[in-house]
Each structure stands twice: as structure tokens, then as C-alpha cells.
Amino acid sequence: MSPTLRQDVHYMLQRYLDIFPGERQPLLRLNALLQSKFQSSAGCFDRTNMAGHVTVSAAVLSPDRSRILLVHDAATDLWQPPGGHYEAPGSLWDAAASHVQDMANVGDVALHPWCVSRGMPVDIQTYVIPENPQAGEGSHPHHDFRYLAVARDAVVPIPSDEAAPAVRWTPREYLAGSRDARLVALARKLDAFV
């Protein structure tokens, strides 16, 4: 993995924290991971790194901005925007858009102007993934870079990924009432920026 990508992601995090200074405390672990001199350049992107690694996702809005694309995560039984581990090559956004295509067969999406003008995701969150003995993984943090995007056409999503057996367009209001704090936080940002 290119040290340049790691530096770019660290710089992106610093710009993000300039805009959202109230999120500094929850992102201290990510900041330390990106600054660590003891990690290889790939360490923060390597899914085998149980100290934590970067993931990506995309909050894709329908063309009229009234609905959001969500996939059902079978492991957690939660509805979430499509996403997953960063896969090289390319940018974090490229990886997020690829997950949207892979998980929901929605390929014609564009970054929302908010993300374009700032060159960063609309949300960055750290959360802990529970232990998965079947995969041989212990509990570990994911540092998710969530981009805001808009579908160019009102396509019918089709699930295509084993990890996401169902996919749907959901009214944006669903987010604010979710039992998942990450979606509630995303709802606040969407209300502010969309």
C-alpha cells in the first residue's frame, strides 16, 4: 500500500476534524493508527490488522434525495449503507462506490456536492466489530469513511453479495429512528447538508 494514500487519509481526517471538532475524541484511535511509525504503510488498510483498519461506505440518496439505499447486514441484523473493507487500488471513494455496485447492483452514483467541494467523506466513525470465531477474527475496530452520494437514476437495487442478502430504498426518516447510533448521527448530517 502506498504511503501516500495513508498520508492523504491522515490529511483528510485532519480537515474533517476542522469541520467537525466535536468528533475529535471518538476518532483519537484512528488518528493514532494513521500517525503510528511502527505500522507498515498498509497496516491501516489491512483487514488482518486487529488493532483496527480503514473501511469505506456510501450513503447513497435517491435522485430526489428522499430515500437512502440500505443493505441488510446479516451478521448484525442491522440495515446499513453499503460498504466494506478498503480494496486497492484507487481512492477511498472508488472503493466505496465499488461496494455499492457489488452489494446492490447500483453502479451509476455520483459524489454529493458536499463531499466534492470538501474532498472528504461526510462522516467518519470508529466502531467495534465483535469477535468472529468462524473467520478467526477477534474483536477489532473499524474506522469507516462514509461518503455521501446520489444515484443518477431511480434503479431497483438487487442484492448480489452474500453478506448483504437484502437491499432496499428506505425513506430518510428511518435513519433518525434507528436503534443504531451511527445511523442517527448520519441522519443529523443529512438534515444539515441535504
Can you tell me the mean pLDDT for 85-112? 94
Instruction: Quote the domain boundaries for residue 109.
Output: 3-193
- For residue 15, give the CATH number of its domain: 3.90.79.10
pLDDT, residue 161, reads 64
Q: Which amino acid is at 88?
A: A
For residues 129 and 126, what is the distance between their CA atoms, to the nearest angstrom? 10
Number of domains in the chain: 1
pLDDT, residue 16, reads 97
pLDDT, residue 176, reads 95
pLDDT level of residue 95 (50, 70, 90 thresholds)? very high
Residue 32 has pLDDT above 70, yes or no: yes
Residue 41 has pLDDT above 60, yes or no: no
Can you tell me the mean pLDDT for 101-112? 94
pLDDT level of residue 79 (50, 70, 90 thresholds)? very high
pLDDT, residue 11, reads 94
Can you tell me the mean pLDDT for 26-55? 81
Mean pLDDT is lowest, of 39-48, 68-77, 113-122, for: 39-48
Please indicate whether residue 37 or residue 122 has the higher confidence score (pLDDT): 122
pLDDT, residue 86, reads 93
For the chain, give the DSSP string.
--HHHHHHHHHHHHHHHHH-GGGTGGGHHHHHHHH-SSS-TTTTT-TT-TT-EEEEEEEEEPTTSSEEEEEEETTTTEEE-SEEE--SSS-HHHHHHHHHHHHH----EEE-HHHHHHTS-SEEEEEEEPPBGGGTB--EEEEEEEEEEEESS-PPP---BTTB--EEEEETHHHHT-S-HHHHHHHHHHHHH-
Q: What angle do CA 70, 94, 88 make, to 5 degrees?
A: 115
Rounded to two decimals, the pTM is 0.92
pLDDT, residue 3, reads 64
164: left (phi over 0), alpha (psi -120 to 50) or beta: beta
Which residues have CB under 8 Å from 192's CB, separation 6+? none
What b/e readout covers 30-65, taking b as 16+ CB neighbours within 10 angstroms? bbebbeeeebeebbbbbbebeebbbbbbbbbbbeee
Q: How far is CA 186 from the centre of its chain?
A: 11
pLDDT, residue 74, reads 77
